[in-house]
Amino acid sequence: MADCRIRFSTIGAALLPLSLLACGSVDNSAANNTSGRVELFSWWTSGGEASALAAAIGIHKQKYPNVNVVNLTGPDSNVAHAQLVQRMQGGNPPDTFQVNIGEDLMYWVKSNGIDATESPLEPIDAYVSKNGFYSLLVDQVTVGGAFYAVPMNVHRINSLFFNKKLFAQLGINEPSEGMTLDQFNQLCVTIKGKGKVPVPLALGNVGRWPLQELVFEDILPGIAGAAYYESFWRGNEHTSDGVIKDTIDEALLLRCGPTKALPCDGGYFNTDADNIDWPAALDMVQKGTAAMSAMGDWAKGYFESKGWTADVDFGVVQFPGKYKVFVYTADSFPLPINDAPSHDLAAQLLQTFASVESQVAFNQIKGSIPARSDIDLTQYPGSFDAMHLRTYQSFHDATQALNTALALSGLLPIGVLTDLRNTLQYSMSQGTSAYIQTYLDKNYATLNR
């Protein structure tokens, strides 16, 4: 097998055809004769996610028909991470694996705090150029100028999805862009008051991250704005300024209603929120037993995998709040240091994941937008619909206005994020902001260190 360990010139490399980015000869017959197995590890198990990955792998299969890419999945990101840690520590890494940009990736790049020279990952500059990707994504996958992972998409986190036909049947206005929290709260009251839909806002909180997402990545940035949100999680604000209390109070209102008192008879969530996962919450919206659900825009791909059509059956807006903010993350894939024969095959797969063809095929199904800044979605009318185009424009507008905010998976180490989720869950279960406030007061100085 040809040795891929050469460095490309980065000038214009991102715009070259995939065949010219592949290692070794560009002779198609060489690619056709390449064979082997690549282990990819991810948590993509739902319909839209699995289909999107299959589309990207299908692009790879066109060039390397004899290479078998096996997707080994964990049931959710928490379990997948724990399984990945076991494999990496056991000296049995997968050939590549799914990871969020920022701190989630840096856990591995820095080998959990060790200098990058001791990392179990290798830089991928020799295989894939970082040119062509959004600079704010590259910043989150680069250490000391070295490029460590291929971002495949940009996901919006702070989205509110809703059943359009249900709102029409109820005779009330849909959620709208720029809606305030007071207006949103009143909307929940109105929906419940109709007596036809038991749950205004569906939540599936298995894994504990959906509640964290709702509270700290939907409500908080809408209350405080993008600049404060990132500044807070980077340790530059004060926990006593009331923003966290205001955020938790809003979440408690949604959970328990105006009195915020247990047992939450007046709440606007489903009572089984802690016992179902996020796809089940979206199923409630599709079935009409819930009107809305706050979820990242992978929900678009999920709904479409279930036969729904964007802007016909379901709609989406930024989660309500005072400020316009685009909270984002990106799924990315690194290259573990590995002397196995599949190493070079994995490098070829990352080249495919970085290509225009793959990113178009993947993101049209996933619900996200491509991580490559040189892909103009308006040039792909058969691939990207009006909802995609609005997300695309919103991301560009937010980038220009400095209204983007990195998701917590990119800002906090995984151990801290786990503690935060568990404390938030307990605090909410007790109907008070006191426990999460105390946790932050005590740990804020070292939260993201």
pLDDT in tens, 135-170: 999 999 999 999 999 999 999 999 999 999 999 999
Amino acid at 447: L
> Can you list the alpha helix ranges (DSSP code H) found in 127-242?
135-139, 164-170, 181-194, 209-212, 220-224, 226-233
Residues 75 and 43 in one domain: yes
Band (74; pLDDT cuts 50, 70, 90): low
Tokens encoding 86: 């076991």
- Kindly state the average pLDDT of the residues 360-369: 98
Residues 59 and 151 in one domain: yes
Tokens encoding 333: 């894939």
Q: Is the pLDDT of residue 132 over 50?
A: yes
Residues comprising the chain, all counted = 449
Residues 289 and 423 in one domain: yes
pLDDT, residue 47, reads 81
Write the DSSP symbol of residue 309.
-
- Kindly state the average pLDDT of the residues 167-193: 96
Specify whether the CB–CB gap between 403 and 324 falls below 8 A.
yes
Q: How many distinct structural domains can be found in the chain?
A: 2
Q: Is the pLDDT of residue 12 over 80?
A: no
Residues 350 and 254 in one domain: no
DSSP 3-state of 143: strand
DSSP 3-state of 76: coil
How many whole angstroms separate alpha carbon 21 and alpha carbon 13? 7
Residues 135 and 198 in one domain: no
- Kindly state the average pLDDT of the residues 18-30: 39
Q: Where do we find the tokens 């709040």?
A: 321
Tokens encoding 300: 């678009």
- For residue 7, tell me if it sits in a domain: no
Half-sphere exposure of 361 (CA within 13 A, CB side): 18
- Kindly state the average pLDDT of the residues 214-239: 96
Residues 71 and 220 in one domain: no
Q: Is the pLDDT of residue 23 over 50?
A: no
Residues 25 and 113 in one domain: yes
- Kindly state the average pLDDT of the residues 379-406: 96
Q: Tens of pLDDT along 331-354?
A: 999 999 987 779 999 999 999 999
- For residue 142, tell me if it sits in a domain: yes
Q: Where do we find the tokens 């990352």?
A: 350
258: domain CATH number is: 3.40.190.10
- Kindly state the average pLDDT of the residues 180-197: 95
pLDDT, residue 401, reads 96
Q: Is the pLDDT of residue 16 over 80?
A: no
pLDDT, residue 33, reads 74
pLDDT, residue 76, reads 66
Least confident of 8-22, 38-52, 301-315, 344-358: 8-22
Least confident of 8-22, 84-98, 111-125, 424-438: 8-22
Cα angle 154-142-213, degrees, rounded to a multiple of 5: 40
Percent of the chain with pLDDT over 90: 75
Dihedral Cα 128, 134, 137, 143, nearest 10 deg = 50
- For residue 1, tell me if it sits in a domain: no
Smallest Cα–Cα separation from 141: which of 332, 338, 413?
A: 332
Residues 45 and 82 in one domain: yes
Q: Is the pLDDT of residue 15 over 60?
A: no
Query: Between 30 and 244, whose confidence is greater?
Result: 244
Band (117; pLDDT cuts 50, 70, 90): low
Q: Is the pLDDT of residue 10 over 80?
A: no
Residues 297 and 196 in one domain: yes
Range of the structural domain that residue 235 is part of: 159-324+412-446
How many whole angstroms separate alpha carbon 251 and alpha carbon 215? 6
Average per-residue pLDDT for the chain: 89
